[in-house]
């Protein structure tokens, strides 16, 4: 049945050029979440472009988006998929900067009534399509890889002191047993240092290249995170996480 609905939506897109989640939900007698899943599938085939509340027929064009690789990389997608399993309908979440967090933003279409606080400017178009409410933290805009953008300011507590989320999802530049979480940009530190007081549960998305790597700015001790999502983990880190009661989720 879902395949038939997807085919019907494709036909409607070709005829009408635009379709809307509310209309399709009534037409097929299914939830808006299901419709967003169908539209996400059609978009993944290159046939549609989603926008808030619907989708339009994709124009024939070559893909010159320098960030397309983020959404097709199997490593970042596997971390994002594991993170999605920790999210529930109605959650309020923080999504940080970085490529794995961009991949996570694209995979949020299945959730209803999701509130997202973020400083991830690159992920913003996906978040607007997938979340019920999006709050972008302002400040200076920068990049550490010359591809993905994020924002922060020196005193984020003035904005974040009244914002609380169920869960925070961040990446990191480096992860070390002694140095903890480290990043390449001082601007990143301002947001990271607010997360323990802003979020009930902190999820760190860190692939295996981050272990024993120390970047210039320290942002948190390992004992401040609650869950580590990774593709693999050295034994020394696994033992350390166990001592600190940090849950480890491995994607492989």
Q: What is the CA radius of gyration of the chain?
A: 19
From 112, 114, 134, 138, select the one nearest 125 (Cα to Cα). Answer: 134
CA dist., res. 113 & res. 101, Å (int): 19
Q: Looking at residue 109, what DSSP letter applies?
A: T
From 25, 55, 34, 103, select the one nearest 47 (Cα to Cα). Answer: 55
Q: What burial class does residue 62 get, using C-beta atoms within 10 Å of its C-beta: 0-12 exposed, 13-18 middle, 19+ buried?
A: exposed
CA 97 to chain centre: 8
Q: Which two tokens stand for residue 123?
A: 């992920």
CA dist., res. 167 & res. 101, Å (int): 13
Give every residue of the chain whose pLDDT is below 70, as ranges: 1-2, 60-69, 154-160
Tokens 């419709």: give the residue.
35
CA dist., res. 86 & res. 211, Å (int): 23
Q: Report whether 38 contacts 55 (CB < 8 A).
A: no
Q: Which domains does the chain have, with CATH numbers?
A: 2-57 (1.10.10.10), 68-250 (3.40.50.1360)
pTM over 0.75: yes
Longest dimension (CA), the chain: 60
Beta bridge partners of 181: 175, 220
From 113, 124, 100, select the one nearest 249 (Cα to Cα). Answer: 100
Beta bridge partners of 246: none
CA-CA-CA-CA dihedral for 150, 156, 161, 164, to nearest 10: 10
Which H or E element spans position 173?
none
């Amino acid at each position: 049945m879902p395949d038939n609905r997807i085919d019907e939506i494709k036909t409607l897109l070709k005829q009408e050029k635009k379709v809307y989640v509310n209309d399709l939900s009534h037409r097929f007698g299914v939830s808006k979440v299901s419709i967003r899943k169908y539209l996400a599938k059609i978009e993944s085939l290159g046939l549609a472009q989603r926008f808030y509340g619907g989708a339009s027929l994709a124009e024939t064009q070559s893909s010159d988006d320098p960030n397309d690789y983020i959404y097709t990389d199997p490593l970042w997608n596997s971390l994002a998929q594991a993170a999605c399993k920790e999210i529930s309908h109605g959650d309020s979440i923080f999504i940080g900067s970085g490529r794995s967090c961009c991949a996570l933003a694209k995979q949020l279409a299945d959730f209803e009534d999701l509130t997202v606080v973020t400083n991830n400017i690159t992920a913003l178009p996906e978040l607007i399509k997938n979340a019920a409410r999006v709050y972008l933290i302002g400040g200076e805009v920068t990049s550490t890889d010359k591809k993905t953008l994020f924002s922060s300011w020196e005193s984020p507590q003035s904005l974040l002191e009244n914002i609380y989320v169920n869960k925070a999802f961040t990446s990191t530049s480096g992860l070390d047993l002694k140095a903890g979480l480290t990043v390449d940009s001082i601007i990143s530190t301002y947001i990271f240092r607010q997360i323990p007081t802003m979020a009930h549960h902190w999820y760190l998305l860190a692939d295996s290249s981050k272990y024993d790597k120390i970047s210039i700015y320290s942002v948190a001790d390992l004992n401040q995170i609650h869950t580590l999502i990774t593709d693999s983990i050295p034994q020394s880190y696994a033992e350390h996480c166990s001592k600190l009661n940090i849950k480890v989720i491995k994607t492989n």
